[in-house]
Amino acid sequence: MGIQDIQQILESNLDSKNLSKLTALNNEKLHKFIADAIELAKPKSVFVCTDSAEDIAYIRNRAIELGEENKLAIEGHTYHFDGYFDQGRDKSVTKYLLKPGQDLGERINSTDAASGTAEINSLMKGIMAGREMLVCFFCLGPTNSDFSISCAQITDSPYVAHSEHILYRSGYEQFKTLGSSPEFFRFLHSEGELENGVSKNIEGKRIYMDLNNEIVYSVNTQYAGNTVGLKKLALRLAINRSSKQGWLAEHMFVMGAQGPGGRVTYFTGAFPSACGKTSTAMLDGQTIIGDDIAYFRNIDGQVRTVNVEKGIFGIIRDVNTDDDPVIYDVLNEPGEIIFGNVLVKDGKPAWLGMGEELPTDGVNYCGQWSPDQKGPDGKATTASHKNARYTIAISSLANRDPMADAPEGVVVGGVIYGGRDSDTCVPVEQAFNWTEGIIAKGASLESETTAATLGAEGVRSFNIMSNLDFLSLPLGRYVQNNLDFGNSVKNPPLIFSVNYFLKGADGEYLNGMRDKMVWILWAELCVNGDVEKIKTPTGYIPKYADLKKLFKEKLDKDYTEAEYVEQFSIRTPALLAKIDRIEKIYKEQVPDTPALVYEIFTKHRDALNAAAKKYGECISPLTLDA
C-alpha cells in the first residue's frame, strides 16, 4: 500500500476533526497501521483520542452508553462483566508469531507468522462493521524519559480504552516526538460480536504477538489480561526489545522503604501469585511506585527503574480493611474506578473476602445471582468471581511515592525475590553478590501450591524471576541478560530472597502477616551498610539483636531468641534438595543454560555439605555467629 493509498483510506473514513488529529502525527508507519486496520475491520467510524480531557471523557462515556460499563452508586465508580468463559488470561490461544528458523523453545506456545497472521486477518475481516474504531496513544513508562516506549492501540471496545487510560500515561503528545521513527508498539483488538454485552464467539478467541514487528493482535475477547495490550502483552514485546538493547523488562513492583532519618531506599520485587507481592508493595508506612511491571536501565553507572504503568489492575478478592486498608479506602471513596466481575446489589459492589457479609442476591458475571446459581457449564458459581478485579490510578493511593512519575526513575537499592516455601529458605537472606543473587535466588525461584486452590499442598512450581509466563526469548539468554546487566555497573543493587511462609514442626506458620515489614526494613539497612550480618553457605542473614530492635520499634512486638533460631536455622537437606530440583530443570529443559549457573549450584552445594559436616544438618544462626 503506497502513501497515496493510505492517505485516501484515511480521508475516506475519518471526519475532518479526527483526520486533523491523526495527520498531526506525521508518521508513515502509524498511518499505514491505521489504514490497514480500517481496510481489514471495516468500522463505521473512527475516533482518534488525544491527551485532552475532552477526548478521554468521550471514551469513558461511550463505555457507559454502549453498556460495556454501568454506573455504581458512588460517583465515578463503574462495573464491567466479562463472559463466563472469558475470565482470565487464556494461555491456550496466546501465541508468538515467529518467522522461519526462529525458535523460542518447546515450552513457549508459538506458530509461524504467515499462517498466524492469515488466521487473524480471517477472524478480523469486517469485524467492526457498524461500530466505532478507537485509536488511542499511550506511553509505557514516564513520558519524555529514557524509559519511554510509545504505543498505538486500536480497539472497538471503549471499556478496554477506558481501562488503559486509567492504567497508562496518555501518549499522544509523546508520539509527536517520534517524528517518522518506526520505534513504537502496536496493538489491534476487537471484542467481536457481542451477546448480552460480552464477546460471543469465544471459539475464535486469539491473542497473537509478532515479536519481529512489535505488534499484538487480540480478537473475540474482553478480559483485560487478553485485551489491554499494554500490560502483559507489551511486557513480552519489551522483554524481546530489551534483550537486543541491553536493558531489562521485569515482572516486578517498585516501592520505597523508609529508613532512619527520613532516608528512602527503593526496592523492586518479583513474587509468583499468592506469595505476597501486593502486600509487600503496599507495606504500612512505606511508599509505592508500582505493583506489577518495571523497566531497568543503566543510566550514568546507576541501575534506575520506573513503573511502566500508572494504575493497578488488581485482584479484589480478600481486599478488606484489615489486610489492604489503603486500597479498601480508595474502593469506597468517589473517584474513577472500574470494578470487574464483582457482585452488584443496589448500586454497590461486593466481593469475596471483603470483610462484610455478602448480599444473598444481586447481579454478577452470570446474570441474576442467588446462592444456588449454576454457570453455563452447570458448575456452581460464587457471588463474585475469584478473579474479580479493580482498576484504579496509583495517584489515588495515600501512600503513593512522590517519585512515581519521575522521568529519570529511581535508583534501585535492592531486588527482592519471594516464593511460597514451607520448609527450606529463611525469612530473609542477602545474596553474596549480583551473580549469585540472580542465579541462586531469581533464576531458582519456585513456589508451593496450596491445598485450598489446587487440592495438593506443597507441590513446587518453578517460576524464574516470576516472569516465566511472559518470556519471549530462550530462558538461558534471559538469565544471561540479567547477569550481564547487573555486572555492567560498578555497584549493582543488592539481591535478597524472602520467604513469608516458613512453617514449624506443628505445621503452623512461624511468622505473622505483618512480620514482612521487618525483613524489608532489615534489607534497607543492609543496602546502606548499617548492620553487620552473619555469613551462611548461601548468603548473609540478620543478627538477632537487629531483628529484635526492628520488631519492637516497628511492630511493638517482643521477638524472642527462640523464634529467631527456629526461623533462621540453615536447613541443609532441604536446601540441597532445592538445588538438585532446579539444576535438573535447567539440564533437562534449558539447553542454552549459561555455564556459570551450574558453577554457582556446585559452589552452594559444596558449601552446604561442608557446613553440614562441621555443624550438623540443621545449623543454628547462633552457631554461625559465634
Residues annotated as part of the active site: 275
CB 495 within 8 A of CB 430: yes
Looking from the CA of 228 toward its CB, the CA atoms found within 13 Å total 23
Looking from the CA of 10 toward its CB, the CA atoms found within 13 Å total 24
240-246 long-range contacts, CB within 8 A, separation 24+? 240/211, 240/214, 240/472, 240/473, 241/149, 241/214, 242/295, 242/481, 243/473, 243/477, 243/478, 243/481, 246/298, 246/484, 246/485, 246/488
CB 386 within 8 A of CB 88: no
Looking from the CA of 107 toward its CB, the CA atoms found within 13 Å total 17
CA gap 59, 79 in Å, rounded: 15
Read out DSSP for 508-542? -BSS-GGGHHHHHHHHHHHHTT-S-EEE-SSSEEE
CA 313 to chain centre: 9
Nearest one of 371, 473, 432 to 104, comparing CA atoms = 473
**How many angstroms separate the most distant Cα atoms in the chain?**
81
One-letter amino acid for residue 50 of the chain: T
β-bridge partners, 294 = 250, 307
- C-beta neighbour count of 347 within 10 angstroms: 12
Beta strands in 68-148 (DSSP E): 70-71, 77-80, 94-98, 110-112, 132-140
- Take residue 396 and report the three cell numbers written for it: 489515588
What CA–CA distances, in Å, run from 236 to 293, 321, 513? 11, 35, 32
